[in-house]
Amino acid sequence: MNNGKRPVLIAGPCSAETEEQVIQTATRLFRTGKVDILRAGIWKPRTRPGAFEGIGTKGLPWLQKAKELTGLPVAVEVAKASHVELCLEFGIDILWVGARTTVNPFAVQEIADALKGVDIPVLLKNPINPDLSLWLGGMERLQNSGLTRLGAIHRGFSFSGEKIYRNRPQWQIAIDFKTAMPDIPMINDPSHICGNRDLLFKVAQKAMDLDFDGLIMESHITPDTAWSDAAQQLTPEDYGKLIESLVIRDDKNTGKEKTKLDRLRKEIDMIDEEIMNILASRMKISREIGQYKKENNMTILQSERWKEVLQKYIDRGAQGGLGADFISRVIKSIHDESIEQQEKVMIGEA
Ligand code: PEP
Ligand code: MN
Protein backbone atom coordinates (compact mmCIF):
# COMPACT_ATOMS: atom_id res chain seq x y z
CA MET A 1 0.00 0.00 0.00
CA ASN A 2 1.52 3.37 -0.88
CA ASN A 3 0.73 7.05 -1.45
CA GLY A 4 -2.68 8.55 -0.83
CA LYS A 5 -4.91 8.40 2.21
CA ARG A 6 -5.31 5.08 3.95
CA PRO A 7 -8.73 3.51 3.45
CA VAL A 8 -10.76 2.27 6.43
CA LEU A 9 -10.13 -1.45 6.70
CA ILE A 10 -12.74 -3.81 8.12
CA ALA A 11 -12.00 -7.53 8.29
CA GLY A 12 -13.16 -10.66 10.05
CA PRO A 13 -14.99 -13.91 9.46
CA CYS A 14 -18.24 -14.14 7.56
CA SER A 15 -19.66 -15.79 10.69
CA ALA A 16 -18.57 -16.18 14.27
CA GLU A 17 -18.43 -19.99 14.67
CA THR A 18 -16.57 -20.77 17.89
CA GLU A 19 -14.83 -18.68 20.53
CA GLU A 20 -11.47 -20.08 19.48
CA GLN A 21 -12.07 -19.21 15.80
CA VAL A 22 -13.16 -15.64 16.64
CA ILE A 23 -10.22 -14.96 18.96
CA GLN A 24 -7.63 -16.51 16.68
CA THR A 25 -8.93 -14.70 13.61
CA ALA A 26 -9.03 -11.41 15.50
CA THR A 27 -5.52 -11.71 16.94
CA ARG A 28 -3.98 -12.86 13.66
CA LEU A 29 -5.74 -10.04 11.80
CA PHE A 30 -4.53 -7.58 14.40
CA ARG A 31 -0.96 -8.76 13.82
CA THR A 32 -1.16 -7.86 10.13
CA GLY A 33 -1.52 -4.21 11.16
CA LYS A 34 -4.03 -3.82 8.33
CA VAL A 35 -7.31 -3.76 10.22
CA ASP A 36 -9.16 -0.87 11.83
CA ILE A 37 -12.41 -2.66 12.64
CA LEU A 38 -13.23 -6.33 13.21
CA ARG A 39 -16.37 -7.82 11.64
CA ALA A 40 -18.29 -11.03 12.33
CA GLY A 41 -21.79 -12.22 11.47
CA ILE A 42 -23.79 -13.40 14.49
CA TRP A 43 -27.20 -13.78 12.84
CA LYS A 44 -26.89 -14.89 9.24
CA PRO A 45 -29.69 -14.22 6.78
CA ARG A 46 -29.22 -17.17 4.44
CA THR A 47 -30.88 -17.37 1.07
CA ARG A 48 -31.91 -21.03 1.62
CA PRO A 49 -32.95 -22.46 5.00
CA GLY A 50 -30.68 -25.13 6.34
CA ALA A 51 -27.45 -23.22 5.67
CA PHE A 52 -25.66 -22.05 8.83
CA GLU A 53 -27.91 -19.36 10.28
CA GLY A 54 -25.43 -17.92 12.75
CA ILE A 55 -24.30 -18.76 16.24
CA GLY A 56 -26.65 -16.14 17.75
CA THR A 57 -26.37 -14.23 21.00
CA LYS A 58 -23.85 -16.59 22.54
CA GLY A 59 -21.23 -15.27 20.07
CA LEU A 60 -21.50 -11.68 21.32
CA PRO A 61 -19.24 -12.20 24.38
CA TRP A 62 -16.58 -13.71 22.05
CA LEU A 63 -16.57 -10.42 20.15
CA GLN A 64 -16.26 -8.49 23.42
CA LYS A 65 -13.21 -10.59 24.18
CA ALA A 66 -11.73 -10.04 20.70
CA LYS A 67 -12.19 -6.31 21.23
CA GLU A 68 -10.48 -6.41 24.63
CA LEU A 69 -7.54 -8.39 23.29
CA THR A 70 -6.93 -6.29 20.19
CA GLY A 71 -8.29 -2.89 21.18
CA LEU A 72 -10.16 -2.84 17.86
CA PRO A 73 -13.83 -1.87 17.55
CA VAL A 74 -16.20 -4.65 16.46
CA ALA A 75 -19.00 -4.64 13.87
CA VAL A 76 -22.01 -6.96 13.62
CA GLU A 77 -24.88 -7.31 11.14
CA VAL A 78 -28.35 -6.45 12.44
CA ALA A 79 -31.60 -7.31 10.68
CA LYS A 80 -34.21 -6.40 13.29
CA ALA A 81 -34.81 -4.44 16.51
CA SER A 82 -33.96 -7.35 18.81
CA HIS A 83 -30.51 -7.66 17.17
CA VAL A 84 -29.92 -3.94 17.72
CA GLU A 85 -30.85 -4.22 21.39
CA LEU A 86 -28.54 -7.18 21.96
CA CYS A 87 -25.64 -5.49 20.16
CA LEU A 88 -26.03 -2.37 22.30
CA GLU A 89 -26.23 -4.51 25.44
CA PHE A 90 -22.97 -6.31 24.55
CA GLY A 91 -21.03 -3.16 23.63
CA ILE A 92 -20.81 -3.76 19.88
CA ASP A 93 -19.29 -0.61 18.38
CA ILE A 94 -20.58 -0.57 14.82
CA LEU A 95 -23.64 -2.12 13.17
CA TRP A 96 -24.21 -3.02 9.56
CA VAL A 97 -27.41 -3.71 7.69
CA GLY A 98 -27.15 -6.61 5.23
CA ALA A 99 -28.22 -6.65 1.58
CA ARG A 100 -31.22 -8.88 2.25
CA THR A 101 -32.45 -6.39 4.85
CA THR A 102 -31.91 -3.19 2.86
CA VAL A 103 -34.43 -4.46 0.28
CA ASN A 104 -37.19 -4.20 2.88
CA PRO A 105 -38.17 -0.67 4.00
CA PHE A 106 -40.14 -2.10 6.94
CA ALA A 107 -37.04 -3.87 8.26
CA VAL A 108 -34.79 -0.82 7.76
CA GLN A 109 -37.38 1.37 9.48
CA GLU A 110 -37.58 -1.06 12.42
CA ILE A 111 -33.80 -0.84 12.83
CA ALA A 112 -33.85 2.96 12.47
CA ASP A 113 -36.58 3.19 15.13
CA ALA A 114 -34.64 0.95 17.52
CA LEU A 115 -31.66 3.29 17.14
CA LYS A 116 -33.44 6.57 17.95
CA GLY A 117 -31.29 8.52 20.40
CA VAL A 118 -28.26 6.20 20.01
CA ASP A 119 -25.74 7.67 17.60
CA ILE A 120 -23.81 4.48 16.90
CA PRO A 121 -22.05 4.12 13.51
CA VAL A 122 -24.20 2.16 11.05
CA LEU A 123 -23.16 0.88 7.61
CA LEU A 124 -25.89 0.17 5.09
CA LYS A 125 -25.19 -2.42 2.41
CA ASN A 126 -26.71 -1.98 -1.01
CA PRO A 127 -29.92 -3.95 -1.58
CA ILE A 128 -29.59 -7.28 -3.40
CA ASN A 129 -31.31 -5.80 -6.46
CA PRO A 130 -29.76 -2.94 -8.44
CA ASP A 131 -32.07 -0.24 -7.13
CA LEU A 132 -30.33 3.02 -6.21
CA SER A 133 -33.47 4.57 -4.70
CA LEU A 134 -33.96 1.68 -2.30
CA TRP A 135 -30.38 2.10 -1.10
CA LEU A 136 -30.70 5.89 -0.77
CA GLY A 137 -34.11 5.46 0.89
CA GLY A 138 -32.62 3.12 3.49
CA MET A 139 -29.95 5.71 4.25
CA GLU A 140 -32.59 8.43 4.59
CA ARG A 141 -34.53 6.28 7.08
CA LEU A 142 -31.38 6.01 9.23
CA GLN A 143 -30.71 9.74 8.91
CA ASN A 144 -34.30 10.54 9.87
CA SER A 145 -33.74 8.66 13.11
CA GLY A 146 -31.00 11.15 14.02
CA LEU A 147 -28.05 8.88 13.15
CA THR A 148 -25.07 10.89 11.90
CA ARG A 149 -22.21 8.38 11.74
CA LEU A 150 -23.31 6.55 8.65
CA GLY A 151 -21.57 4.72 5.82
CA ALA A 152 -22.58 2.71 2.76
CA ILE A 153 -21.24 -0.69 1.70
CA HIS A 154 -21.15 -1.66 -1.96
CA ARG A 155 -21.41 -5.48 -2.12
CA GLY A 156 -22.69 -5.96 -5.65
CA PHE A 157 -26.06 -6.97 -7.05
CA SER A 158 -27.64 -10.27 -7.76
CA PHE A 159 -27.96 -11.21 -11.42
CA SER A 160 -29.07 -14.47 -12.95
CA GLY A 161 -27.17 -14.39 -16.23
CA GLU A 162 -23.50 -14.12 -15.51
CA LYS A 163 -21.37 -16.06 -13.15
CA ILE A 164 -18.02 -14.30 -13.19
CA TYR A 165 -18.96 -12.57 -9.96
CA ARG A 166 -21.23 -13.90 -7.25
CA ASN A 167 -22.80 -10.44 -7.25
CA ARG A 168 -22.26 -8.14 -10.21
CA PRO A 169 -20.49 -4.97 -9.08
CA GLN A 170 -22.37 -2.50 -11.29
CA TRP A 171 -19.92 0.15 -10.09
CA GLN A 172 -21.99 2.90 -11.62
CA ILE A 173 -24.69 2.46 -8.96
CA ALA A 174 -22.16 3.00 -6.16
CA ILE A 175 -20.82 6.05 -7.99
CA ASP A 176 -24.36 7.40 -8.37
CA PHE A 177 -24.86 6.86 -4.64
CA LYS A 178 -21.68 8.84 -3.92
CA THR A 179 -22.91 11.63 -6.16
CA ALA A 180 -26.30 11.75 -4.44
CA MET A 181 -24.86 11.56 -0.90
CA PRO A 182 -21.28 12.83 -1.12
CA ASP A 183 -20.82 13.02 2.66
CA ILE A 184 -21.49 9.32 3.24
CA PRO A 185 -18.29 7.24 3.09
CA MET A 186 -18.45 4.37 0.59
CA ILE A 187 -16.88 1.06 1.54
CA ASN A 188 -16.40 -1.75 -0.93
CA ASP A 189 -17.03 -5.42 -0.06
CA PRO A 190 -14.92 -7.46 -2.51
CA SER A 191 -15.76 -10.71 -0.67
CA HIS A 192 -19.48 -10.69 -1.46
CA ILE A 193 -18.98 -9.25 -4.94
CA CYS A 194 -16.50 -11.97 -5.92
CA GLY A 195 -17.75 -15.03 -4.06
CA ASN A 196 -14.34 -16.51 -4.78
CA ARG A 197 -10.94 -15.53 -3.48
CA ASP A 198 -9.17 -15.37 -6.85
CA LEU A 199 -10.97 -12.22 -7.92
CA LEU A 200 -10.64 -10.31 -4.65
CA PHE A 201 -7.51 -8.31 -5.42
CA LYS A 202 -8.81 -6.99 -8.70
CA VAL A 203 -12.06 -5.76 -7.17
CA ALA A 204 -10.35 -4.26 -4.11
CA GLN A 205 -7.88 -2.42 -6.34
CA LYS A 206 -10.67 -1.12 -8.52
CA ALA A 207 -12.48 0.23 -5.46
CA MET A 208 -9.28 2.05 -4.51
CA ASP A 209 -8.92 3.41 -8.05
CA LEU A 210 -12.48 4.69 -7.85
CA ASP A 211 -11.58 6.50 -4.62
CA PHE A 212 -13.74 4.43 -2.28
CA ASP A 213 -13.22 5.18 1.41
CA GLY A 214 -12.60 1.67 2.65
CA LEU A 215 -12.86 -2.08 2.32
CA ILE A 216 -14.72 -4.77 4.25
CA MET A 217 -13.34 -8.25 3.69
CA GLU A 218 -13.95 -11.70 5.09
CA SER A 219 -11.11 -13.54 6.75
CA HIS A 220 -11.07 -16.93 8.45
CA ILE A 221 -8.31 -19.00 10.07
CA THR A 222 -9.16 -22.01 7.88
CA PRO A 223 -11.20 -20.55 5.00
CA ASP A 224 -11.99 -23.84 3.29
CA THR A 225 -13.77 -25.19 6.35
CA ALA A 226 -15.71 -21.97 7.12
CA TRP A 227 -19.35 -22.59 8.01
CA SER A 228 -20.48 -19.88 5.56
CA ASP A 229 -18.96 -18.29 2.45
CA ALA A 230 -15.92 -20.60 2.44
CA ALA A 231 -14.80 -19.90 -1.14
CA GLN A 232 -14.43 -16.15 -0.67
CA GLN A 233 -12.57 -15.97 2.66
CA LEU A 234 -8.82 -15.44 3.10
CA THR A 235 -6.52 -16.37 5.95
CA PRO A 236 -5.58 -13.30 8.02
CA GLU A 237 -2.05 -13.44 6.56
CA ASP A 238 -3.28 -13.62 2.95
CA TYR A 239 -5.65 -10.76 3.70
CA GLY A 240 -2.68 -8.75 5.04
CA LYS A 241 -0.70 -9.45 1.87
CA LEU A 242 -3.60 -8.45 -0.35
CA ILE A 243 -3.97 -5.13 1.43
CA GLU A 244 -0.22 -4.59 1.33
CA SER A 245 -0.15 -5.04 -2.44
CA LEU A 246 -2.92 -2.54 -3.15
CA VAL A 247 -1.86 0.68 -4.81
CA ILE A 248 -3.59 3.64 -3.23
CA ARG A 249 -3.44 6.51 -5.65
CA ASP A 250 -3.73 10.08 -4.57
CA ASP A 251 -5.79 12.14 -6.98
CA LYS A 252 -5.66 15.19 -4.75
CA ASN A 253 -2.43 16.54 -6.28
CA THR A 254 -3.65 16.46 -9.83
CA GLY A 255 -5.27 19.39 -11.56
CA LYS A 256 -9.04 19.64 -11.80
CA GLU A 257 -9.11 18.92 -15.52
CA LYS A 258 -7.04 15.80 -15.11
CA THR A 259 -9.25 14.56 -12.30
CA LYS A 260 -12.33 15.02 -14.42
CA LEU A 261 -10.66 13.25 -17.33
CA ASP A 262 -9.59 10.42 -15.03
CA ARG A 263 -13.11 10.05 -13.73
CA LEU A 264 -14.55 9.93 -17.25
CA ARG A 265 -11.94 7.40 -18.32
CA LYS A 266 -12.72 5.23 -15.34
CA GLU A 267 -16.40 5.35 -16.26
CA ILE A 268 -15.54 4.31 -19.82
CA ASP A 269 -13.35 1.48 -18.51
CA MET A 270 -16.18 0.25 -16.32
CA ILE A 271 -18.62 0.26 -19.19
CA ASP A 272 -16.13 -1.56 -21.43
CA GLU A 273 -15.67 -4.20 -18.78
CA GLU A 274 -19.45 -4.66 -18.55
CA ILE A 275 -19.53 -5.02 -22.35
CA MET A 276 -16.85 -7.73 -22.16
CA ASN A 277 -18.73 -9.58 -19.42
CA ILE A 278 -21.97 -9.35 -21.35
CA LEU A 279 -20.31 -10.58 -24.57
CA ALA A 280 -18.80 -13.52 -22.69
CA SER A 281 -22.24 -14.41 -21.26
CA ARG A 282 -23.78 -14.12 -24.71
CA MET A 283 -21.23 -16.45 -26.30
CA LYS A 284 -21.79 -18.98 -23.54
CA ILE A 285 -25.47 -19.09 -24.52
CA SER A 286 -24.50 -19.33 -28.19
CA ARG A 287 -22.51 -22.46 -27.41
CA GLU A 288 -25.50 -23.93 -25.58
CA ILE A 289 -27.63 -23.18 -28.64
CA GLY A 290 -24.97 -24.89 -30.76
CA GLN A 291 -25.26 -27.94 -28.55
CA TYR A 292 -29.05 -27.92 -28.91
CA LYS A 293 -28.86 -27.59 -32.70
CA LYS A 294 -26.35 -30.40 -32.85
CA GLU A 295 -28.55 -32.71 -30.81
CA ASN A 296 -31.59 -31.82 -32.90
CA ASN A 297 -29.82 -31.91 -36.24
CA MET A 298 -30.55 -28.28 -37.14
CA THR A 299 -28.57 -25.85 -39.30
CA ILE A 300 -26.63 -23.05 -37.66
CA LEU A 301 -27.89 -20.14 -39.69
CA GLN A 302 -31.57 -19.46 -39.78
CA SER A 303 -31.69 -16.53 -42.20
CA GLU A 304 -35.16 -15.24 -41.47
CA ARG A 305 -34.45 -14.90 -37.80
CA TRP A 306 -31.12 -13.19 -38.51
CA LYS A 307 -32.73 -10.51 -40.74
CA GLU A 308 -35.32 -9.72 -38.09
CA VAL A 309 -32.68 -9.46 -35.38
CA LEU A 310 -30.52 -7.10 -37.41
CA GLN A 311 -33.39 -4.76 -38.28
CA LYS A 312 -34.57 -4.73 -34.67
CA TYR A 313 -31.16 -3.55 -33.45
CA ILE A 314 -30.76 -0.96 -36.19
CA ASP A 315 -34.09 0.57 -35.11
CA ARG A 316 -33.20 0.32 -31.46
CA GLY A 317 -29.72 1.82 -31.98
CA ALA A 318 -31.23 4.78 -33.84
CA GLN A 319 -33.20 5.65 -30.70
CA GLY A 320 -29.92 5.90 -28.77
CA GLY A 321 -28.25 8.07 -31.45
CA LEU A 322 -26.25 5.18 -32.98
CA GLY A 323 -25.86 5.07 -36.75
CA ALA A 324 -27.32 2.16 -38.75
CA ASP A 325 -23.94 1.42 -40.23
CA PHE A 326 -22.20 1.19 -36.89
CA ILE A 327 -24.92 -1.01 -35.39
CA SER A 328 -24.90 -3.24 -38.39
CA ARG A 329 -21.11 -3.74 -38.09
CA VAL A 330 -21.27 -4.44 -34.36
CA ILE A 331 -24.16 -6.87 -34.58
CA LYS A 332 -22.68 -8.65 -37.61
CA SER A 333 -19.40 -9.06 -35.84
CA ILE A 334 -21.09 -10.48 -32.74
CA HIS A 335 -23.16 -12.75 -34.94
CA ASP A 336 -20.03 -13.97 -36.79
CA GLU A 337 -18.32 -14.86 -33.57
CA SER A 338 -21.49 -16.55 -32.37
CA ILE A 339 -21.66 -18.70 -35.51
CA GLU A 340 -18.03 -19.60 -35.11
CA GLN A 341 -18.55 -20.66 -31.49
CA GLN A 342 -21.63 -22.71 -32.44
CA GLU A 343 -19.72 -24.31 -35.26
CA LYS A 344 -16.96 -25.38 -32.93
CA VAL A 345 -19.53 -27.04 -30.68
CA MET A 346 -21.17 -28.75 -33.64
CA ILE A 347 -17.96 -30.16 -35.05
CA GLY A 348 -16.91 -31.17 -31.56
CA GLU A 349 -13.99 -28.75 -31.08
CA ALA A 350 -15.40 -27.02 -28.01
C1 PEP B 1 -22.10 -10.75 5.21
O2 PEP B 1 -21.53 -9.65 5.26
O3 PEP B 1 -21.65 -11.78 5.68
C4 PEP B 1 -23.38 -10.82 4.46
C5 PEP B 1 -24.36 -11.65 4.80
O6 PEP B 1 -23.35 -10.02 3.40
P7 PEP B 1 -24.51 -9.52 2.40
O8 PEP B 1 -25.56 -8.89 3.25
O9 PEP B 1 -23.74 -8.54 1.58
O10 PEP B 1 -24.96 -10.72 1.62
MN1 MN C 1 -20.49 -13.61 4.16
Say if residue 216's pLDDT is above 90: yes
- Model confidence at 256, pLDDT cuts 50, 70, 90, reads low
Ligand 1: nearest atom to the Cα of 192: 9
Please tell me the pTM assigned to this model.
Answer: 0.76
Smallest CA-to-CA distance from 152 within 131, 174, 130 is with 174
State whether the beta carbon of 98 lies less than 6 angstroms from ligand 1: yes
Residues 183-202: pLDDT tens digits?
999 999 999 999 999 999 99
> How confident is the model at residue 273, as a pLDDT?
86
| Cα–Cα distance, 51 to 77 (Å, whole number) | 17
> How confident is the model at residue 162, as a pLDDT?
62
Which amino acid appears at position 237 of this protein?
E
The answer to whether 187 touches 152, Cβ cutoff 8 Å, is yes
Lowest mean pLDDT among 24-28, 65-69, 209-213, 322-326: 322-326
Smallest CA-to-CA distance from 152 within 128, 188, 200, 201 is with 188
| Cα–Cα distance, 173 to 238 (Å, whole number) | 29
Mean pLDDT, rounded, of the chain: 92
> How confident is the model at residue 253, as a pLDDT?
47
Which amino acid appears at position 77 of this protein?
E
CA of 306 to the centre of ligand 1 (A): 43
Q: Where are the domains of the chain?
A: 8-254, 260-346
> How confident is the model at residue 79, as a pLDDT?
97
Ligand having the closest approach to the CA of 99:
1
The pLDDT of 207-226, averaged and rounded, is 97
The pLDDT of 140-159, averaged and rounded, is 97
Which amino acid appears at position 239 of this protein?
Y
Most distant pair of Cα atoms in the chain: their distance: 71
Residue 174 CB-half CA count within 13 A = 29
CA of 39 to the centre of ligand 2 (A): 10
Check if CATH label 3.20.20.70 holds for domain 8-254: yes
- In angstroms and rounded to an integer, the radius of gyration of the C-alpha atoms of the chain is 23
The pLDDT of 300-325, averaged and rounded, is 84
- We find that the CATH architecture of domain 260-346 is Up-down Bundle (1.20)
CA of 233 to the centre of ligand 2 (A): 8
State whether the beta carbon of 134 lies less than 6 angstroms from ligand 1: no
Say if residue 128's pLDDT is above 80: yes
Higher pLDDT: 300 or 43? It is 43
Say if residue 3's pLDDT is above 70: no
Pocket test of ligand 1: the residue of 10, 14, 101, 193 to mutate, having most ligand atoms within 8 Å of its CB, is 14
The pLDDT of 136-141, averaged and rounded, is 98
Phi, psi at 219, each rounded to 5°? -140, 140
Smallest CA-to-CA distance from 193 within 158, 143, 141, 235 is with 158
